[in-house]
């Protein structure tokens, strides 16, 4: 049995980096110390059902669905709140708070709601709650960022207590793939009584987990919703999200201070796989690293310069030596696991001769200097890109900040002309695609109304809106292909890598990576500790595990 003094205690002691050659010795020393100090300690997981998760180095910006448009906030929000539909682990839309739905017309979607569902405070969920949630999101006084994923005139019409129609003014190609993450159901009475700040401080949804408490900058604790409509879920009783600096996450896992790290570096995979009580799971997911280029008031206003830096980046080198092979080269503005991905597009090859020729033609034979803002999860990659671009005279004044600060700096208001007021010529960040649709990333990066866009191009906006309002499936496919081709040809960004998402986890934790690249509410609700977990302290079990692991690695299966 794994030993820990307190299953819900979230204090994480300062982490000491592990030297690769000393890991085995350190684990043996830890074992001896724990056997001496805690000989009579009781198990702290499995029976008690606790789980400690590291998904982000910093705490979420918000726990309010109407204040969120970032992946790290949405991960925790999705544990507490739910939408009408969801994605399963194959990326297919499945029922959630709606038991079924039907497209009545290109502008009318009917949903039959699940009966007997209640919010965490006991308030019933019904068609009125759907109507309240839609109306508040779409017509709230302060614009809701994720409302731009829907027709601005969308509204809800109640058919009966458990049937509701979502009605749009125009056909909307984004429906219903935007529903799982971007239309959460909120409790009308509770929110009307406590207001937005009250909901922020005490979230109240229908999800598998209830909010318990938070320690600012350190942790958020959730506990199982005992009245959850899916009676057998969640399997794990208590979940603590820990916010640990990225460089310390590996050590937290190996030193037993965390049970799951969702963004393990490729360089650390082998060490985790070799650990006596840890393993990894991998999956190609809708997660990618992007470098966006500002197409005005910067050298990147010239299309030739944008193309030049795309030719200057050696993606294969970055994937092999920076990501340790834990990525695939990203060919286009969308990734291969997304619906509508345009596989016919060809990437910019690594070609320094073309780079130098284009820079010279654009009037920059000796290069130039640009200001770059990057989130800290891109640190290794963006520094490598900086070295590559320096070879052709492009110098990057690099600012790397935590994700929360990155959002504050990049999500600045627009000017009167509609152009973003940006101090940065380039931005670099890693993001997931919660819609699993190829429209989402180009929209988030390049659409002028996106809070993340540092560029402004009316031609792209027209192509995007033309796709959104297309009615026929064939027309949508053609227009989405055209949208991706335009973004690639205009070189709005440097498309680097589609990530292989790596989980580092305790051997006895069973969890499935989600195709969106996010630790969604569905993911955690269906995770579980094995009924008879092995133990770090049981040498017989350890020997058996090593034997099984060796058989799998050599291909000898029983």
Which tokens in the block code for residue 535? 């133990």
- Give yes or no: residues 480 and 530 share one domain: no
Last residue within a domain, chosen from 499, 522, 546: 499
Please tell me whether residues 407 and 321 are part of one structural domain.
yes
Within a domain: 65:
no
Answer with the residue of higher pLDDT: 76 or 320.
76
DSSP class of residue 144?
Answer: P
Residue 68 falls within a domain, yes or no? no
Q: Residue 172 belongs to a domain with what CATH number?
A: 3.90.76.10
- Helices assigned H by DSSP within 497-538: 521-525
Helices (H), 202-268: 246-254
pLDDT of residue 38: 35
What's the pLDDT tens digit per position in 507-517? Answer: 999 999 999 98
Average pLDDT of the chain is 85
* Residues 292 and 441 grouped into a single domain: yes
Of the candidate ranges 27-41, 193-207, 284-298, 465-479, the one whose mean pLDDT is the lowest:
27-41
Query: Mean pLDDT lowest for which of 66-80, 475-489, 543-557?
Result: 543-557
- Give the CATH number for residue 415: 3.10.105.10
Q: What is the end-to-end Cα distance of the chain in Å, rounded?
A: 27
Residues 179 and 210 occupy one common structural domain: no
Q: What is the pLDDT of residues 402-439, one digit of tens each?
A: 888 898 888 766 655 667 677 899 999 888 899 999 99
Residue 436 belongs to some domain of the structure: yes
Of residues 171, 142, 450, the one with CA closest to residue 290: 450
Pair (350, 448) in one structural domain: yes
Which has the higher per-residue pLDDT, 415 or 536?
A: 415
Domain limit, last residue, from 170, 195, 220: 195
Same domain, 248 and 345: no
Question: Is 4 domain-assigned?
Answer: no
- Structural domains in the chain (count): 3
Domain hosting 309: range is 284-499
Say whether both 409 and 465 belong to one domain: yes
Per-residue pLDDT, averaged over 10-15, amounts to 42
pLDDT at position 231 is 92
On whether the CB atoms of residues 147 and 184 are closer than 8 A, the answer is no
Give the range among 3-7, 98-102, 216-220 with minimum mean pLDDT: 3-7
446 and 430 in a single domain? The answer is yes
SS3 408: helix
Are 534 and 412 within one domain? no
- Sequence-separated contacts (24+) of 152-158 with Cβ below 8 Å: 156/127, 156/130, 156/131, 157/131, 158/127, 158/128, 158/131
Is the same domain home to 340 and 488? yes
Provide the H-helix boundaries in 41-126. 71-80
Please say if the pLDDT value at position 289 is more than 60.
yes
CATH number of residue 263's parent domain: 3.40.190.10
**Residue 67 in domain:** no
Whether 18 maps to a domain, the answer reads no
Q: Are 535 and 2 in contact, with CB atoms under 8 Å apart?
A: yes
pLDDT of amino acid 531: 65
Residue 163 lies in a domain: yes
Average pLDDT over residues 288-292: 89
Q: What is the pTM of this model?
A: 0.84
Domain annotation covers residue 457: yes
Do 147 and 53 fall within a single domain? Answer: no
State whether 397 and 542 are in the same domain: no
- pLDDT exceeds cutoff 80 at 104: yes
pLDDT tens-digit readout, 110-126: 999 999 999 999 999 99
Instruction: Look at residue 156 and give its three-state secondary structure.
Output: strand
220 vs 517: which has the higher pLDDT: 220
Nearest residue to 28 via CA among 422, 537, 459: 537
Separation between Cα atoms, residue 555 and residue 223, nearest integer Å: 40
Cis-peptide, bond into residue 169, ω within 30° of zero: no
Pick the last residue of a domain from 139, 161, 195. Answer: 195
């Amino acid at each position: 049995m794994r030993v820990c003094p307190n299953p819900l205690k979230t204090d994480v002691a300062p982490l000491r980096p592990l030297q690769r050659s000393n890991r085995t010795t350190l684990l043996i020393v830890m074992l001896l110390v724990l056997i001496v100090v805690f000989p009579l300690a009781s198990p702290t997981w499995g029976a008690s059902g606790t789980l400690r998760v590291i998904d982000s180095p910093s705490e979420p910006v918000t726990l309010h669905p109407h204040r969120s448009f970032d992946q790290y906030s949405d991960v925790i929000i999705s544990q507490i709140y739910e939408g009408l539909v969801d994605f399963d682990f194959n990326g297919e839309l499945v029922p959630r708070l709606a038991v079924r739905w039907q497209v009545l017309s290109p502008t009318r979607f009917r949903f039959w709601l699940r009966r007997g569902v209640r919010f965490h405070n006991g308030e019933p969920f019904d068609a009125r709650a759907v109507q309240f949630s839609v109306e508040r999101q779409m017509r709230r006084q302060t614009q809701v960022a994720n409302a731009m994923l829907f027709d601005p005139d969308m509204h809800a019409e109640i058919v009966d207590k458990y049937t509701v129609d979502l009605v749009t003014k125009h056909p909307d190609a984004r429906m219903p793939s935007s529903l799982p993450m971007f239309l959460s159901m909120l409790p009308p009475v509770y929110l009307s009584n406590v207001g937005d700040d009250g909901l922020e401080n005490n979230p109240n949804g229908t999800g598998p987990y209830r909010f318990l408490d938070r320690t600012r900058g350190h942790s958020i604790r959730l506990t199982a919703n005992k009245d959850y409509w899916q009676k057998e879920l969640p399997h794990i009783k208590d979940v603590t999200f820990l916010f640990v600096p990225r460089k310390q996450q590996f050590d937290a896992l190996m030193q037993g201070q965390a049970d799951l790290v969702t963004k393990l570096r490729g360089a650390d995979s082998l060490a985790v796989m070799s650990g006596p009580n840890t393993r990894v799971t991998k999956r190609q997911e809708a997660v990618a690293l992007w470098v966006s280029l500002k197409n005005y008031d910067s050298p990147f206003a010239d299309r030739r310069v944008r193309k030049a830096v795309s030719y200057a980046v050696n993606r294969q080198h970055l994937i092999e030596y920076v990501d340790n092979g834990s990525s695939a080269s990203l060919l286009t503005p969308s990734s291969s696991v997304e619906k509508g991905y345009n596989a016919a597009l060809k990437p910019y090859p690594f070609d320094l001769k073309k780079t130098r020729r284009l820079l010279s033609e654009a009037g920059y034979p000796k290069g130039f200097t640009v200001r770059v803002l990057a989130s800290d999860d891109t640190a290794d990659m963006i520094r490598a890109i900086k070295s590559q671009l320096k070879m052709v005279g492009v110098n990057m004044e690099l600012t790397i900040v935590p994700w929360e600060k990155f959002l504050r700096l990049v999500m600045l208001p627009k000017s009167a002309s509609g152009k973003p007021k940006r101090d940065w010529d380039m931005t670099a960040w890693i993001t997931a695609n919660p819609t699993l649709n190829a429209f989402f990333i180009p929209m988030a990066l390049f659409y002028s109304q996106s809070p993340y866009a540092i560029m402004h191009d009316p031609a792209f906006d027209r192509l995007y809106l033309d796709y959104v309002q297309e009615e026929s499936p064939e027309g949508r496919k053609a227009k989405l292909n055209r949208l991706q081709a335009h973004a690639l040809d205009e070189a709005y960004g440097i498309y680097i890598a589609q990530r292989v998402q790596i989980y580092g986890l305790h051997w006895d934790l069973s969890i499935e990576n989600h195709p969106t690249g996010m630790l969604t509410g569905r993911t955690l609700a269906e995770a579980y500790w094995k009924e008879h977990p092995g133990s770090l302290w049981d040498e017989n079990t350890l020997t058996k595990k090593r034997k099984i692991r060796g058989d799998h690695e050599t291909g000898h299966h029983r």
